Every structure is written in C-alpha cells, then in structure tokens.
A = this chain, B = another copy of it.
Amino acid sequence: MDMHALTRELQQKNITKIVMLVADGLGGLPLSPGGKTELETAQTPNLDALAVRGVQGLSIPVKPGIAPGSGPGHLGLFGYDPLQYQIGRGALEATGIGFQLQTGDVAIRCNFCTLDEAGNIVDRRAGRISSEESAPIACSLRQITIPGVEIFVEPVKEHRFVVVFRGQGLGGNVKDTDPQATGVPPLQPIAADSASLRTAQVAKEFLTQAGKILHDQKNANFHTMRGFAARPNLPSYQEVYGLKAAAIAVYPMYKGLASLVGMDIVGNATTLDEQLQVLKQKWNDYDFFFIHFKYTDSTGEDGNFLEKVRRIEELDACLPQLTSLKPDVLIVTGDHSTPSYLKSHSWHPVPTLLVSDCCRPDPHQTFGETTAITGGLGQFEAQYLMLLALSNAGRMGKYGA
C-alpha cells in the first residue's frame, strides 16, 4: 500500500512545527575496525543533549545494501518511496536553478566542452571556464529554433548549463552524449525508448545548430548533453501531509528536490548560520522546515575524515539557534552515508534522531552510528520517517476504527 494513501486519509490539522535537519551524507565509517566514525569522533554536546530527550535509530535510505544518489536519498526522507518515484538528473538540475518545469518538459544537463579540429573532445569541461565567461555563451544558444518545440537555455555554473525542451510527445529517455573520455568525438543522442524518439531528434538538431554557433569559441566550441529527464509527477507535501513546507538550502539540487514535492524555497542563505536566520524569520509562516547542510557529504566525498568531523561540530554548534525556536518535532538525519573511508555515497544506514515531547526516548546519552544500532527507532526505511514526524507532531489520526 502507498503510504500516501494513508497520510491523505489520516492527516490532521495542528499548529505544531516540524523541522527536518538533513546533514547530507551524515553516516560514516571508522578508518579501522574498533575505531570511531566521523560522527562519533566529533564533539557534539548539543546533539548529545538531544539524544537524551529523543529517540534514535538507523534509517535505510532505499533498501539494505543500496547506496542512493541525492534524489532517491531525499525522496525517501520526504516520504516518497524512492523505488516508485524516480527523478532524472536533468529535472533535478533545472528545478535547482529555479526553473519551473512543467509536466511534459524534458530537461538536460549540458557541459561546454572543447573539440579539436578532428572533432574529438580535448577537454570535457572546456577548461572549466568561469561562470562569467560561460553565461553569455550559453545565452547565445537561445537563438536556436526548432519547429514545434519551445526551447529554454539557462546558465548554471562554470561549464554547466541546462536546456529544456517543451512540446508534445517528448519522452525523457535519451542516452548521454558525453562519452566520459577525451580523444573521441561526442556521442549522438539516442532514444532509449520509442516515446523518446522525437526528443532524440530534437536534441540532434539542437546540437547541430549549437555546433555552428559555438564554432569560433576558444574553449567552449561545443557541448555535451547528459541526464535527459522528464519532470517527475510528485504529489505535494500540502496534499499528502497537509503541511505547508519550506526548504532552506544553499545548493540548487536540494532546492530543486524540495520544490518538486511542493515546498517553498525560502531565503537566500549561503551559510548554516544564515539558514537558521531564515528559519527564524519564516518560523510563523510554515508547518514544516527542511534544512539542508551539504558539507558533511562533500567532505566525505573528499575522503577528509577530520574535515567531516569539523563540519559535524559546526552543525552541532548551530543547534541552539534551532532548538531555541522549540520545534514540536526535530529530526536530525542524513539522506545517505558518505564515509570518508569510501569517498562516496554508501549503503550504510544513517544515524537518525527524533525529538518530540511524545517520542519514546531510548537510554542513549550520545548520538552516533553505534548507539543508533540499539536506538528506539530500530532500523527503518527512510520513507517511514515522515509518518513518524506527523504522528509525533499530532498531525495524524489513527488508522481504522
């Protein structure tokens, strides 16, 4: 059974506030057996104080053994079955820069690249040209016209930009043209299903025209297309949970994800401190706040154990600003683990802490991967976390008579 069929039926109005603080890639690994993880190494007096009042456990992002990308990782936390709902990278990126995708749009991540005279890729990122240099070149592609298709071109950062095709009969299933190698030419866009044949044709025509427009550029004399994706059809937080929800994030991808489930993107914070100021400003306007903290993931991906520890301590130090608002339900979790030992997203379940006046506290006095094993939440699939949030917030009635 779809959990949203339940929450649609059981949701109740209340004035309670829920905060979900997502430390991206929070879970980690010790560097050697018997050692401590990043979270266990960090000095986290505020998290530990919350652990005393709260209940912890391990969140399985998708299924045991599955390492998720950011999309499925967040969908799970937001309560959307990540195996049922899938978001393509292009759709994520477009939404993340504030582009309002419509149903039927196909979004594509594009990278400027450098071709040699033979047409082979010399640099897959066009020398990582600056955003200042790249943006006008991307905008020059807006002159491209293809009959029957509305085309949007939006600069992102450095060598990256987004293209969106809007029109009838455009499927999102087209293969990347980036060969992931240099010394070879870009690939042709090839449809991976019959519903996407026209998209592939449109993309091919776009690339042909782009090649002519970009021909005389020094570095950015061509571009690749990756992550073709139609807009996913996700029901909104308002509809499935009855929550007016706000997202306070720094990075485009997480803003994009939140907006796909109907959260408002609020503020323009660039630091955690600023994010918490936005939280304070918007406190009376929303029922639910998603706060995204990126650096526990990026330091993990860098393989920088000590820097990840430091970022966790930074997060901990900001918590009093959050708890002073007295959220009725506070959740601290991650969308997946990013152990610095692996330098990548991993499948390990994520330490998760829930605090409310009616959670059933477990005996733990600290918060970490090892204590979470025997925490009161047990091991659970992330997609159930929102049910716990709603119930702890007095926002869900009982099921059945």
**Residues of chain A at the chain B interface (Cβ within 8 Å):** 1, 3, 6, 10, 29-30, 33-34, 37, 52-53, 58, 62-73, 82-84, 86-89, 92, 227, 339, 341-342, 344-349, 358, 360-363, 369-370, 373-380, 384, 386-392, 396-401
Contact A378 B58 (CB under 8 A): yes
A369 touches B360 (CB 8 A): yes
- Determine the chain B residues whose CB is within 8 A of the CB of A52 once the complex forms: 33-34
| Shortest Cβ gap from A233 to chain B (Å) | 16
A82 to chain B, nearest CB (A): 7
Residue in A358, A360, A388 whose Cβ sees the most chain B Cβ within 10 Å? A360
**A29: B residues at CB distance < 8 A:** 358, 360
Report chain B residues within 8 Å CB of A86.
400
Identical subunits present: 2
Q: Please list the 10 inter-chain residue pairs (A to B) with the smallest Cβ-Cβ separation, ordered nearest first.
A: A65-B387, A89-B401, A378-B379, A72-B400, A64-B384, A69-B400, A65-B388, A1-B83, A67-B398, A69-B401
What residue in chain B is nearest A67 (Cβ atoms)? Answer: B398
B72 with A399: CB separation less than 8 A:
yes
What residues on B are CB-neighbors of A345 within 8 Å?
398
Report the nearest B residue to A389, measured CB to CB: B65
In the assembled complex, how far is the CB of residue A127 from the closest CB belonging to chain B, in whole angstroms? 25
User: Could you list 8 further interchain pairs (A-B, Cβ under 8 angstroms) beyond the known A347-B388, A379-B380?
Assistant: A3-B63, A63-B387, A64-B384, A69-B401, A73-B400, A346-B391, A347-B387, A347-B391
| Residues in chain B near residue A339, CB distance under 8 A | 358
| Cβ contact within 8 Å between A69 and B399 | yes
* 18 A/B residue pairs, CB under 8 Å, sorted by A: A1-B83, A3-B63, A65-B388, A65-B392, A66-B391, A68-B400, A69-B401, A71-B401, A73-B400, A82-B399, A87-B400, A92-B401, A342-B358, A347-B388, A360-B369, A362-B370, A362-B373, A379-B380
